[in-house]
Amino acid sequence: MENGKEVLAKVVQLRTQLVSQGHTRHLLAETDLMTLRIHCYSPGIGENALHSHTKEDHIFVVLEGTAQFNTGRDGKTVVKASKHQAIVLPAGCYYQFCNSGDTPLVMARIGAGPDKSDTRLNPDGTPIPGRTHEQGAAKPVLIEGAFFE
């Protein structure tokens, strides 16, 4: 607590519109040390090429659907997570993932780290600029009237 300033709690709604193509991601909350986002991925769609983060830990909580995470510097270790499961990815852990089911995948993503200067790295150690390696980076197609809530 800084200078006696009162810090208040905040409630956020874990709600997102489902997609039939592409994916969405929405920032729900942010503090100095962490972020909370909700993501929705259509079947077969994932995020990023194999990468790690230098200063940010991630936890992906599967709210609906099934995710396949490929982990390790070679991406050959497969970890599956389904509804009510989470995968913990400490800074330095290489991963990529995709929706391995046939329905939309909804995940809450918690990112936490000591500062906002996190860098994503390729397995060879080179930095990945921006979000240039999206898998299936097509614009999302929202399913009318269909929400995770």
Residue 141 belongs to some domain of the structure: no
What local confidence, expressed as pLDDT, does residue 131 receive?
Answer: 60
Partners of residue 19 on adjacent β-strands: 142
What local confidence, expressed as pLDDT, does residue 70 receive?
Answer: 97
Q: Between β-strands 66-71 and 57-64, what pairing exists: parallel, antiparallel or unpaired? A: unpaired
Residue 6 belongs to some domain of the structure: no
Residue 127 belongs to some domain of the structure: no
pLDDT at position 135 over 70: no
CATH of the domain at 35: 2.60.120.10
19-36 per-position pLDDT tens digit:
999 999 999 999 999 999
The residue range of the domain holding 27 is 18-115
Q: How many domains does the chain have?
A: 1
Q: pTM above 0.85?
A: yes
CA distance 46 to 43: 9
Asked if residues 103 and 64 have their Cβ atoms less than 8 Å apart, the reply is yes
What local confidence, expressed as pLDDT, does residue 1 receive?
Answer: 54
Q: What is the DSSP letter of 75?
A: S
